[in-house]
Amino acid sequence: MVAVPEFLVATIAVLIFSVKLRWLPSIALASEEMGWGDYLRGVAMPILTLSVVVIAQMARMTRAAVIDQMDRPYVEMAVLKGVAPVQVVLKHIMPNAIAPIVNAMALSLSYLLGGAVIVETIFNYPGLASLMVNAVTSRDMPLLQACAMIFCAAYLLLMLIADVTAILANPRLRAQ
């Protein structure tokens, strides 16, 4: 699903939800006078476009990490002791499987930062990514560099949060 570019997902979403079904607007509409329902309806297409590309990968990575931990001896020991299946998953499997899940989530969110440039341009949403595109077209190098630094800082912050969360959640890493 990651191989599908955002503009293709956006095109299909616009064709289905805006043209055929007429449920959502094809351009992201957001103003200060709108209520919450109208605002959510106006930004539903960009959110749908960005999230559909990543949800399948995150679900697949979560499933793979949990299945990998299910074959471990400590899980077998917990099952043999008679621990309830829900307790086995929540107390034994998830703390050890959280590190790859969080790292995959951080990479997926950083992928969304890059996809925001395309999605904001397609749906004419006034955000940081469209500001960056406008800086490229007007050859405003300081603004372009500032936007790039903000995106880089967001990426570094996501990776830092993922690493700290993986260390705090894993009992073996936390003990060190």
Average pLDDT over residues 148-167: 91
CB-facing half-sphere around the CA of 99: CA atoms within 13 A:
14
**CATH architecture of residue range(s) 6-175:** Orthogonal Bundle (1.10)
Examine the pLDDT at 5 and tell me if it is beyond 60.
Answer: yes
**Measured on CA atoms in the order 58, 60, 63, 67, is the torsion positive or negative?**
negative
Average pLDDT over residues 154-159: 92
pLDDT for res 135:
93
How many CB atoms lie under 10 A from the CB of residue 71?
8
How many CB atoms lie under 10 A from the CB of residue 128?
15
The token duo for 21 is 């079904």
**Structural domain boundaries in the chain:** 6-175
Distance CA 19, CA 25 (A): 9
CB-facing half-sphere around the CA of 18: CA atoms within 13 A:
19
- Give residue-wise pLDDT tens across range 67-112: 999 989 999 999 999 999 999 999 889 888 888 888 888 888 888 8
Distance CA 69, CA 13 (A): 37
Angle at which helices 6-13 and 94-122 cross, to 10°: 70
How many CB atoms lie under 10 A from the CB of residue 159?
15
